[in-house]
Amino acid sequence: MEAYLTISTHFSAAHRLALPSLTLEQNSEIYGKCARVNGHGHNYHLEVTIKGEIDPRTGMIADLVAFQKAVDDLVVEPLDHTFLNKDIPYFAEVVPTAENIAVYIRDVLKQPIREIGAQLHKVKLIESPNNSCEVYCTYETESISVADQREPVLAPA
């Protein structure tokens, strides 16, 4: 039986929405106050959802501890208390909108989630009470059957 499992966490980061090829005035037309030269920050709320078959032995899709560790080690720790544009190389070239941050998180987590025996289903990034973004992980060219999935890696007791 297929099921979904979601964990919620948070991180704080600053960013500036601006294309380097445009003037401050042009960026302000596109991004408004978010284009201000010194940037601004958010307390981001992050929800990551995985999907997979429920293991009849463990009753789980994947080990929750391993899932949480992947999100903490690969997303929260590297992004928390950073200025995304300057501290995260990916965002030197990509405008760190909520959409692009969610895509970045999806791309960072996709393979590590597979390694714990599940598939990444969705990344939801809530930037403020006014806006959030959901990015779904698709496997167009990949076909993962239950037989192809790795055994769940369980945390030591």
Residues noted as catalytic: 34, 81, 127
Pairwise CA distance, residues 148 & 157, whole Å? 26
Of the candidates 30, 39, 35, 10, the residue with the CA atom closest to the CA atom of residue 127? 10
In the numeric block, the tokens 């806006």 are attached to 131
Give Cα separations from 3 to 51, 93, 133 (angstroms). Answer: 6, 36, 22
7 by DSSP, 3-state: which?
Answer: strand
User: Two tokens at 59?
Assistant: 């009753």
Strand order in the sheet with 119-128: 82-83, 2-15, 40-53, 119-128, 131-136
